[in-house]
Amino acid sequence: MARAGAVTFKGNPLTLAGEAVEAGQKAPDFTVHYFEDGLHTVSRDDLLGKPSIISVVPSLDTPVCQVQTKRFNQELAAMGETINALTISLDLPFAMGRFCGAEDIQNMRVGSDYQDRNFGQNWGMLIEELKLLARGVFVLTADGNVAYAETVGEVTDEPDYAAALQALQGLG
Q: What is the pLDDT of residues 50-98, one digit of tens each?
A: 999 999 999 999 999 999 999 999 999 999 889 999 999 999 999 999 9
Whether 172 shows a pLDDT value over 80: the answer reads no
Q: Pick the catalytic residue from 65, 90, 100, 127.
A: 65
- Do residues 56 and 134 touch, judged by C-beta distance below 8 A? yes
Active site annotation includes 100: no
Q: Enter the pTM of the model.
A: 0.97
- Do residues 168 and 142 touch, judged by C-beta distance below 8 A? no
Whether 6 shows a pLDDT value over 90: the answer reads yes
Judged by DSSP in three states, 49 sits in: coil
**Who's near 148: CB < 8 A, 6+ residues apart?**
23, 137, 138, 139, 163, 164, 167, 168
Residues in the chain: 172
DSSP 73: H
Give, in degrees to the nearest 5, the angle at Cα 114 between 165 and 99.
Answer: 60
pLDDT of amino acid 9: 97
Domain map of the chain by residue range?
A: 23-169
Element holding 118 (H helix, E strand): helix 118-122
What is the pLDDT of the chain when averaged over all its residues?
A: 96
Whether 127 shows a pLDDT value over 80: the answer reads yes
DSSP 21: P
DSSP 135: P
Does domain 23-169 fall under CATH 3.30.360.10? My reply is no
